Amino acid sequence: MFERLLGIILPVFLVIALGYFYAKRARPDMTWVNNINVNVLAPALIFSALASKDFDLYANRALILGAVGVVVGSGLLAWPFARLLHEDARTFVPPMMFNNCGNMGLPLAALAFGQRGLSAMVAVFTISNLLHFTVGVHIVNRHAAFWPVFRNPMVIATFLGFAFAIAQPPLPDWLMTAIKMTGDAMIR
């Protein structure tokens, strides 16, 4: 069991360490990589995982509701602490609500549970992102416009992915394979 656990966790930490030492030595400009990741790879991963035949929306409903509960519940718990500590809730509460379930959680889920676990973790990731881009933005800036969130590629992929998970329209295998390969580049 210990060997299995190391086989899941160590690859992720080794990739992180490799990236850390490379960045420390080479100091690369990561702007374009981040833009591709946020605007192309993550939306492809979100859509392909939610629209895949491996993802059962009904079977994952408790997980999705749990993700909403964890994010919103963390915010509701953090709010009184912000007031008690005399901290600005706009800066204190969002970091308590939104964790890094993408960069760490997705590869760990893929290594631990395969495609089925990855699809379920993507559902958690999408819920966290959707709440981040809506509720989180509103907490930070109450006057922020709500509609620009619907131009965000990850939000669009989330809605399309859930729509395809519900309706399950047939998609050509070649198209799903291309989308999945693009999304897999984010975590593999």
Distance from the Cα of residue 46 to its chain's centroid: 8
pTM for the predicted model, two decimal places: 0.82
According to DSSP, residue 145 is labeled -
Is the pLDDT reported for residue 76 higher than 90?
Answer: yes
Rounded CA separation 6/166 (Å): 36
Give the amino acid at 169.
P
Look at the block and give the residue holding tokens 């800066």: 91
Q: What is the pLDDT of residues 85-138, one digit of tens each?
A: 999 999 999 999 998 888 788 888 888 888 788 888 888 999 998 999 888 988
36 pLDDT band, cuts 50/70/90, is very high
Rounded CA separation 113/106 (Å): 10
